[in-house]
Structure 1
Amino acid sequence: MPGLYIGATSGYSGKNMIALGIGLWMQRQGLKIGYLKPVGALPIEKDGKMGDEDAFFMQQTLGLEQDPETVTPVLVTQDFKVKAFTGECEDLMAKIHSSYDTLSQGKDLTLVAGSGSMYSGKYCNVDGVSVVNELNLPTIVIDRFDKEFKYDYLAIMRETLGDKLLGVILNDVPQSFMDELNNLLMPFFKRSGIDVLGVIPRDPLLGAIKVSDLADRLGGKVISAHGKSDRVVENFLIGTMQVENFLTHFKKHRNSAIIVGGDRSDVQLVALEGDCPCLILTGNLYPNDIILTRSEVLEIPIIIVREDTFSVAKKMEALLSRHKFRDQVKIKQGTDVVGQHVNLPLIKERLGL
C-alpha cells in the first residue's frame, strides 16, 4: 500500500498542519488513511499507555484508533537517549518497518510523519532520510521561512532522495518575500529538479496563542479579566519607550500583547484603552488599582511574570514561532490554508491514487 513521508528542513515547520490538511482532504476523496509517526520526541501517557503527543493529536483529528506503541514505535525518553548514546540500541528500523506494515493494512495511503528535521535521529539511525530509504517512501519536505529559505538543504534533499522526493512545500511566506521567491528561487528550484507543490503565505492566526496558554508558557499567572483568557495573541510589543513613541507603534500592531514593566502605568493605560489582547507585566510587579479596574471594565487580561522585560520578549519570540497546532480554530484555518495553497490533486495523482 502506498505511503507518504512528510518531513522538514527543521523542527516546527508545519508538519502536523500539512499532514492533517493532506489527510483530511484525502479522506474527503473517499480514501482510507493511516498514520505513523516512527520517532516520537514528545512522550506522554494517555489512558495508561505511553505515546507521542503529536501522534495522539493526529490520530484523534483523523478519526483513527491504533495502539500508541505501534503508531510510534520509537519513543525518545531519557532512558532511550542513554541507551542510544552508549550504543545499546536495538534494531529500531525493524520496529518501524513492522509498524508500517501493520498500520498500512487495508489503507489506501499511510501518512508517515517526520520528527524535527530530515536528519534528526541520526544518532540512533532513525533519521528521516534513513526511514524514507528503508520504507521506500515518496517524500514531501517542508521548508518554513525564517529570514530566508534553506535552499541549499532542499538541493541536498533532491540529490539524497532522488526520485523519492515528490516535492517541497514552502510555508509561512511573508508577503514582502513573494517577489524574491517568484523571481529568484522558483527558477532555481526548477533548474534543480525540485517541484514546489505549494507556497503557503504567512497567516497570523496560525502563529497565535491564547492568553491562558501564554501565561502557562511564560510561567506567569492571569490576575484580571479571567473570563477573557481565551483571547488570542498574534504578536507582541515591548513598552519600554516613551508613551508618545509607544502609541505610534501600537497603532500599527493592534493584535499585539504588550510586554511592559509593572511600574509603567502610563504605557499600561494606553495599551488597555487601545484594546490590546493582553498586558504582560514583568518583574513580578502588580499594577495599581486604576489599571486593575480598567482591565476588568475593558475585559483585557493582565499576566504577571517574574522575569525582566528582555527575557520575556525572548521567550515570546520563541513561543509564537513554535506554538503547537492544536486549537480547533487553528485546525480549521490550517486545513483550509493547505487546501487553498497546496496542489493536493497533483499529490494524489503522483501517488497513483
Structure 2
Amino acid sequence: MTDTDSDAEPTDTEPETASDTTAAGAGGDTETLLVSSLAESSGKTAVALSLARLARAEGDSVGYMKPKGTRLQSNVGKTLDEDPLLARELLDLEAEMHDLEPVVYSPTFIEQAIRGREEPAELRERVREAFETLAADRDRMFVEGGGRYDVGGIVELADADIADLLDARVLLIAPYEVPADVDDVIAAAERFGDRLGGVVFNNVSDAAFDGLETDVIPFLEDRGIPVHGVLPSERELSGVTVAELADELGATTLVDEGQDAYVERFAVGAMGADSALRRFRRTKNAAVITGGDRAEIHTAALEAPGVRCLILTGGHRPSGAILGQASEKGVPILAVRTDTLATVERAEDVIRSGRTRDEATVDRMQRLLSDHAAVDAILE
C-alpha cells in the first residue's frame, strides 16, 4: 500500500486505498495473527488451531479464517478446503464456509486469473468483508495462509498481501534440516518486513536440533528475526502408517508384517539396481514405489534399513523369493493397479492429508507448542 500526503489532491483511487488500509478496523480491537509457512505440509493448520484453542483456554473469544482455500477436495466447481471445515468443528464456530474460505484457489481459478478473468481488487474486497464478518466481537482472529507464503501472488493475495490487508502480525512456520534452509527464512522475513512477529521451526529431527539451537537461532535473532520455538519431530505428525496408506491407496497387501510402521516420504525406483541401493540407503521412513516387475529394485529396497514398505505398481505380483525376503525382514509389500506416476501423486496426497487433519493431531501439536514454544510471546 502507498502512503499518501495529507496535502495531496484527492483522487478517484482514495476510497479504495482507504478501504484497504482500514481493513484492520473491520475487527475493531481484534488481535489478528496470520500463520504462514515456507512449505506445504509444514504443520501450519495444526499450529493455527492449537494457538486458537490455547487463546480460548485463557478466556479469549477466537475466530478463524483461511482466505485462500488451497487444500481442495477437487479441482473444479464449488470445492472446499478441508482446513476450515476442521477449524469450524474444533473451535465451535458458527460461520459460513464462504466467509471462512472466501477464495477457492483451485487450478481452474488460477487459470482464470492468468487469463485476466479475476480482478484482484474485487478479491481483496471479498476477503476484507469476510474478515469483518468473522472478526465481529472476537478478541482474536487466527488467519491461515496458503500452502506456502508466496501462494496467491497471481492475484496480489500472497500471505504478505493478506497481512497488510488485515493488519495482521505473522508467525512463520519453517522446516529445518540443514543450515542452507536459513536462506528461505531470511527471504520470507524480508517479504513480511515489520509484520513478522517470529518464527517457529517444526518437525526438527534430533540430528538437526543442536545446530539449530547453537548456531542458527542466534544468527537469526542477531538479524532481528525472533525465534519463538523449536518443535521436535514426532512420527505421528510426520506421516501415516503403512496400514493407513494401504487403505487410502486401495492397495492389496501382499506381505502383512510391519504395517504399523510410519511412512514420511517416498522414493521412486526408476533407476538401475546399484543406483537404487545407494539412494535407498540414504533415506529414512520411506516407501519405495516401483513397478511390480522390477525384481532388482525390490531386492535393493529390501536391503535398505530406512525403507518401511514397497508399493508395487501396474498390477504385477513379485516372485515368491521377494515375498519371502520381505516377510523375513518385516517389510510390508502393497500392490496397486495404477501406474507409478499416478501412485506417487496419490501417495503424496495421503501423506499431506495425514499430518494435520483430525482433533488428535491438533491435540499433539497443542502439547508440543506448550512444551517447546513461547506461546505467550506468540500471542502477545
Band of TM-score, shorter chain = 0.7 to 0.9
Offset at 1:44?
A: 4.1
Cα-Cα RMSD: 4.3
Partner in structure 1 of residue 51 of structure 2: 22
Matched to 2:111, the amino acid is V
Q: Is the alpha carbon distance of 1:316 and 1:100 closer, same or farther for their aligned partners in structure 2, counting shifts above 3 Å? A: closer
Partner in structure 1 of residue 39 of structure 2: 10
What pairs with 1:252-271 in structure 2 (closer than 5 Å)? none
Offset at 1:130?
A: 0.7
Offset at 1:201?
A: 1.7
Query: Quick one: distance in 2 between partners of 1:143 and 1:84?
Result: 28
Query: Quick one: distance in 2 between partners of 1:241 and 1:331?
Result: 41
2:150 is the alignment partner of 1:119: yes
Offset at 1:123?
A: 0.7
Deviation by residue 1:139-194 (Cα, 9 ceiling, x = unmatched): 11111125445433433444443332111111122222223222321221111101
Please point out which of 88, 100, 112 is paired with 1:59: 88
Query: Quick one: distance in 2 between partners of 1:261 and 1:80?
Result: 35
Give the conservation status (yes or no) of the 8 Å contact 2:245–2:347.
Answer: no
Please point out which of 160, 168, 172 is paired with 1:129: 160
2:101 is the alignment partner of 1:72: yes
Query: Quick one: distance in 1 between partners of 2:64 and 2:52?
Result: 9
Q: Secondary structure at the match of 2:245?
A: helix
Q: Is the alpha carbon distance of 1:49 and 1:59 closer, same or farther for their aligned partners in structure 2, counting shifts above 3 Å? A: farther
TM-score (ref. length: structure 1): 0.76
What pairs with 1:302-313 in structure 2 (closer than 5 Å)? 302-306=333-337
Partner in structure 2 of residue 88 of structure 1: 117
Query: Quick one: distance in 1 between partners of 2:343 and 2:112?
Result: 37
Q: Secondary structure at the match of 1:51?
A: coil
Q: Unpaired segments of 5 or more residues in structure 1?
A: none
Q: Is the alpha carbon distance of 1:88 and 1:288 closer, same or farther for their aligned partners in structure 2, counting shifts above 3 Å? A: closer
Query: Quick one: distance in 2 between partners of 1:158 and 1:224?
Result: 48
Offset at 1:113?
A: 0.4
Give the conservation status (yes or no) of the 8 Å contact 2:90–2:359.
Answer: no
Give the conservation status (yes or no) of the 8 Å contact 1:224–1:295.
Answer: no
Q: Is the alpha carbon distance of 1:139 and 1:34 closer, same or farther for their aligned partners in structure 2, counting shifts above 3 Å? A: same
Q: Secondary structure at the match of 1:20?
A: helix
Matched to 1:172, the amino acid is N
Partner in structure 2 of residue 190 of structure 1: 221
Between the two proteins, what is the percent identity of the paired residues? 28
Offset at 1:300?
A: 8.6
Partner in structure 2 of residue 344 of structure 1: 375
Give the conservation status (yes or no) of the 8 Å contact 1:21–1:339.
Answer: no
What pairs with 1:136-147 in structure 2 (closer than 5 Å)? 136-147=167-178
Q: Is the alpha carbon distance of 1:12 and 1:300 closer, same or farther for their aligned partners in structure 2, counting shifts above 3 Å? A: closer
State how many pairs are aligned.
337
TM-score (ref. length: structure 2): 0.71
Give the conservation status (yes or no) of the 8 Å contact 1:9–1:150.
Answer: no
Matched to 2:375, the amino acid is L
Query: Quick one: distance in 2 between partners of 1:277 and 1:328?
Result: 26
Offset at 1:37?
A: 0.5
Q: Is the alpha carbon distance of 1:189 and 1:67 closer, same or farther for their aligned partners in structure 2, counting shifts above 3 Å? A: same
Q: Unpaired segments of 5 or more residues in structure 2?
A: 1-29
